[in-house]
Every structure is written in structure tokens, then in C-alpha cells.
Structure 1
Amino acid sequence: MTRHRFFGIAVMLAIAPTGGCSMAADKACFSKRSSVVLPDRTRVLANVTNGASGRTLAEAVLDGRTGEARAMLARDPRLIGTVVTHDPRMSSAPDGQYGDLLTLAVSRCDPDGIAMLLAAGMPANGVRPGNALTLALLADSPDLAEALLRAGASPDPQRLPDGEDAMKSAIAFSHVGGVMTLLRHGADPRWADSFGIDRVRMALDAEQADIAELLVQKGGTLWSVAGDGSMAVHELVAEPVAFTGPEMKAARARLVERAKASGIGWPPPDRATVRQMVASGAWPTPAMAKAGMTVSAEALAQIRARN
């Protein structure tokens, strides 16, 4: 198993909100995915910005006291920027200690609270970009995520500096419906991170062949080259380890047939060959590019630095 496949299978569930406890009522629309962890009331209220006013406002949002929260924001619009913080000396926040006001409203499944915050000037992306959408996407119903996306929340993190990646969480939770929601609102199926890891590759790293197939059908590619010369298609050479059900195997087999029909070559060239050919400028040829081989500027720079 490659390092990337091991990482994808072993820790993908760690990339979505996890850990901590929340009010029982908060789970009202998060019953289908028990490993989703909502903002922890105690940790949130002990660590919000804007002092006593921020705590009072966050508590009102958590309790669903929409009128009171609206009045506070009308008196002091600056409170819209209230967020949960953590000690910067810590590598990450304690479980459940995260969010902004919009995330808190999502966590209690409160469409009225969300609407109030948006009307009060809250960006649809939130103050913590993408945090609220990522959580909303994991709810039992798509309604909360749809509301944010219709209000202008970005389905792609590249439009948000340091933004949270809702698609990554959807993939981690095997949430095909969530991926479909994001694609319907314009998410780029070929988006790649700073290492050149694209959506299809991310799905195949996690052995979510059904999601990978959906992404390819919507314009994604099996041939996007990452900074180490690897591609999503390399993940199709090895046998799946965790997700070996008939539907997943069938989706994987269809992707293999699609790769074989691309004309680029099967089995795919090894990573070292890919790096060498890309670094020299020989790949992708026009035919390869037409068949789906892409190399982001970041990946190209990393490949050239390696060679």
C-alpha cells in the first residue's frame, strides 16, 4: 500500500469536525453520522473573542434566542466577528473547540438563526471561512448547506484564503450526496491542493471509488499529476483494502476501463518516469492533455525541484 493510500484510509475521518461533547439537542439533525462532533458548549463559551459580549452573544446563538442575538448585533455590529480561539502554542484546538457564530447556528440545526446572522451581515462563508458549510454538509438533510450555498458560500476552498475544505469532509464521510450538492453549486472537480492532489485522487486515496467516479463524470480526471509524480490512476493499480463491497468494486472496475480507454497507457507509467517526463517538458503532450493529464503550477515546481 502506498503512503498516500494508507494516509487516506487511516486518517480521513480525522479531517472533519471531531471530538468533544455538545448539548443533546444539537444532535437533532446530525443523527446519521455519529462521528461528527459539534462545537462543545463549555469550550466554546470559555474561548470566544469579544469578551463578555462575545460570550453572551455566542450563548444566545447556541440557545436559539434569535431575537436577543439580533438585538445585540444591531447595537454592536462588530460582534459579528466573534469566533472561538485556542492557545496558539497548541498545535490544534481541543476537540469541539471551534467555530464562529454561523457554525454555532448550524450546529444546533437552526435555520432561523442562520438567516438572522446572514441578514445581520455575516458572510455566507462565515468568519472562519468554510467552517459552517463543512459542518452543514454533514447534517442529515442538505437544507442547511443549501441555504449557505444559495446565500453565496463558496463550494471550493481556493476562493477562501486558509478556508476549510467541505469537499474533503464529504469524501472522508463517504457522503456522495454532499459531494453532489457541492458539484451542483459549482465546485470544481479538478481543484487541486498545493501538492497537486486533486479531488479524484483524494477520493481514491480514501478508496471512495463511487465518489471518484462521480467526480470524473462531472469533469474530474484520473491523470492529474501531483508534485511527487503520482496520479489518481496509480491508485487503481493496487487492490482496495477497506472498501471491498460489490458496488465499490464495480465503480473501481469502471474507472480502470476508463483509464485504459484514455490512450495514455495502462498500467500507468511509474512515478519516477512521470516526474522525469514532466520535468523535461515532454509531458503532457497535446494528446495526453486532451485525454486528461494535467499538471498544476505548484506540482510542476515541486517536480522540477526534485529532478
Structure 2
Amino acid sequence: MTRTLARLLQAPSVILLLLWMVVPLGMTIYFSTIRYQLLYPERSGFVGWSNYEFFFTDPAFWPAILNTLTLVGSVLIITVGLGLAIALLIDRSFPGRGVLRVLLISPFFIMPTVNALLWKNMMLHPIYGLFAVFAGFFGLEPIEWLKDAPLLSVIMIVSWQWTPFAILIFITSLQNFDSEQKEAALLDGAGFRARFIYLILPHLARPIAVVIMIQTIFHLSIFAEIFVTTSGGPGVQSTNLAFLIFAQALQGFDVGVASAGGVLAIILANIVAFFLIRMIGRNLAV
């Protein structure tokens, strides 16, 4: 009786959650199989796999896939590596440690659009940006980052915002590290390299896996940073899968093709999530 009552009480939230996920997914799959051009609404009808074929054979599709994977992989390497290094540096007592931690974590709470605008106008601008000022100080020619290195620019913008997230997770885990193990390693004469490889990294295996999973889920759908800074260009040099779907839907007004791209994005995300979950499950089982 108690179990039945518990299920009845949980039923509304579970049903609402299922509807929240299933209805949009079902509509996306439905739109992906029909001709749905906003400029020509009268030309509608079932087209089967044509939208998928059109999206799959789009010249921008494979560059978008490559840019998506490059963006996700590069940001993960930078944020995990830099976050781990900074967490190790501030995992000790020193004057102003609390203030420094707040300053290091604060970029994570900036909205992606604001973050992109800050970098576009204050850091990467070829005339009065901070990088241009440094280049002029050393007598170098300023780089037009958003034109000459658009994907790298987006990688820097996203990495700057997500490194604090990695720092927060790692520093929290390091605070729970057994101090007796550190003292025993120091008494045995273990150097920093040995302590890092045999003590710190095994202790941080699970936090690193969690950071990788969460960031990958978010980075597969990066949009605001690209839209505000490069708009996917020049050409398709900084176009990822999310921006390509946006371009098909709201610039090409082809909801059918964009929906097909959305289904492909869901498949890609699930493939990535499958391997990430298995990796995290393996770490949790250790």
C-alpha cells in the first residue's frame, strides 16, 4: 500500500517530465520527415528521408561536425588541464585565498552572450582589444582573431568561462583529500611528481570524469559564443552543428531540414553520452 501510494504521488511529475521530453522530440522527428519551408508554407507534404539526405550532403555538414569535435575536445583539454593546475596552486593556505577563489570562479557565472561580447570588444578587437595593445607594445602586428583564427577565438572564449567550473570541482575534491596520506608521502621522500601521479590523480579520477561528462554535454550545443562573435564564419570555419541547425531553420527558413539536423545532433549526443557514462561508471566502480 505504501509503495502504491508513493508511485501515485510520483506519477504527475514523472508524466510531466516524459511529456516535456517526448513531445518536442516527437515533433522534431515529425517535422524532419515533411517539407516545411516557412517561405513557401503551401508546399508541404511527406518527403521521408529527403531532409536527412539534404542535411547530410550539405557541404557545411562535415566541417560543422569536425568543428564541433575540435571545439569540444580543445575546450576539455584546456579546462581540465588548466583547472587542475590552478586548483593545485591554490590548495594551500596563503593571505587572500578566499578572495582569490571567488575571483577565479566568478567568470563561470557570466552569461555566455555577455562573455562573448566582453571577449569580442575588450580582448580580441584588432584595434583597441587587450591582445592588440600587447602586440603593439612588443612591436608586433595585431591579429584579427575573429577573422584569422575564428575557431581558436571561440575555444578561448568558452575555455575562459568553463575553467572556473573545473577549478570549483577539483578544489572541492582536494579539500577532502586525506592529509595523512600527504604527510606519509612527504616522510617517505616522495617528490611532487610522484605524489601527483600516485596520489592526486587517482583521487581526482572521478571528479575529472564528472567534469568531462558535464562539459561535453554543454559544449556539444555551444551557440551564443559563435553567434555573437563570428556568426559561423568566415565561411564555415567556426560553424558547429548547433549553429548549422540554426542557420537552416532561421536563416534558410527550412524547418524540415533543420529538424533532420536536430535528430542527427541528438544521435551524436547520445553516442557521446554512451561512452562517457561507461567511462564514468568504470571510474565509480574502482
Assess same fold via TM > 0.5.
no
The structure that is helix-richer by fraction is: 2
Q: TM-score, normalised by structure 1?
A: 0.26
Larger Rg: 2
